[in-house]
Structure 1
């Protein structure tokens, strides 16, 4: 196939696919997700006691972030993940927070 035809095929494909969209969340979107300091005594409320990203147990006073699907992770681990992925690493649910404007 001549180069000109390859180029035309690529242009046609690019038109069909549209503009590239960012896959992850930006810092302000990540900062809107709730976070808290882990307290082992309050972990009875949830079955989750480890971060599935780094596979380490949650420890007292570590900063955890909670996604809309209610899965919890070390904030550092999930923040890095969310910069390139919009979904929860466990259930693949979209992690974007819907901001409702006050009327």
Structure 2
């Protein structure tokens, strides 16, 4: 029993000691790439490694969404806290508050 646990203990000690950590240069490159990708996101959106599979938008913000997932979607632009997608078909329009959605709906712009 103890012998079967030895490889697992050895692996966990490597992970705890940071043996598998990335070099500083790779981390810096990753941060720079992420910053560049965020610049391509719409207003009030930022690049995220874990996108929302069931995002709210101005078209569905006031309805109960049948979609629910705790899984991560593919890396993509995601709305910042307190905002939702203005148009789920055109992410370049960015993210807005629910109040802006209500105003757009009242003006017939949705």
Q: Shorter-chain TM-score: what band?
A: under 0.3
Give TM-score, length-normalised by structure 2: 0.25
Bigger helix fraction: 2
Rg bigger for which structure? Answer: 2
Give TM-score, length-normalised by structure 1: 0.26
Structure with more relative contact order (C-alpha pairs < 8 Å, separation 6 or more): 1
